[in-house]
Amino acid sequence: MHSLTCSRVLGGILSYIAATLKIKKAIYLLSSPDFGKCPPPDRPEFAFIGRSNVGKSSLINMLCQNEKLAKISNTPGKTQMINHFEVTSAPDGSGGRERKWYLVDLPGYGFAKVSQSSRRRWEQMIENYLRKRENLLQVFVLVDSRHTPQKIDLEFLEKMKHWEIPVTLVFTKTDKVNQATVSRHISLMLESLRKTHPFLPRHIVTSSEKGLGRDKILDLIEEINQDHGQ
């Protein structure tokens, strides 16, 4: 994989606009306890990961417009396996061809109350998946916008840079605090990344409750799918 070499600054919090990519169907496919048991790598794949309790399941459900697709829990660490969803999409209103791709819900990192051995097993499972999954085209790393930069997020992003895995930052829960706080925390995160990242990853501001950022994420997925198809 090649790391993204451009940064895209999305100024402020924009009003929600319907995505140009239409999700026609999204179904749960499989939960895998390790990389080797994932589905065949026969289509583009996009993974979502973040610190435990960052709002990952809510974001996935918002993207697919199905509140029951990914299970939401108030207990950190509930997602313990590599969860694959099969998504069928098409450009909305353009008559473009349908595409099938995988959306992957990865276990969160951070505050799960599990044993050291279980945590290490999760870490190895995630690393093997991220580094070896040949059809993985983009990883969306979720960051809680309510907080200043967290060490655990910065450490994970440093690993992703080292592994040369393309990432997009997704700032979640922006409806929980005021816009000034969100903007300040985003700026602090980008400033922290500049210290070690020659090129900043693009970032997207989201709210699962308001649908904010859905169009940006889906349009990026469609753009990558088109490039991959070529």
Q: Which domains does the chain have, with CATH numbers?
A: 21-229 (3.40.50.300)
- Output the pLDDT for position 78: 55
Distance between alpha carbon 152 and the CA centroid of its chain, in Å?
16
User: Given this model, what pLDDT does residue 93 score?
Assistant: 60
Query: What's the pLDDT at 79?
Result: 66
Q: Is 0.85 surpassed by the pTM of this model?
A: yes
Contacts of residues 126-130 at CB distance under 8 Å and 24 or more positions apart, as own/partner, are: 126/49, 127/159, 128/34, 128/35, 129/35, 129/38, 129/47, 129/82, 130/47, 130/160, 130/163, 130/165
Q: How many Å apart are CA 41 and CA 135, to the nearest integer? A: 6
Residue 41 is predicted with a pLDDT of 96
Residues of the chain with pLDDT under 70: 1-19, 73-79, 93-96, 111-115, 230
| pLDDT value of residue 52 | 84
**Tokens for 185?**
């925390």
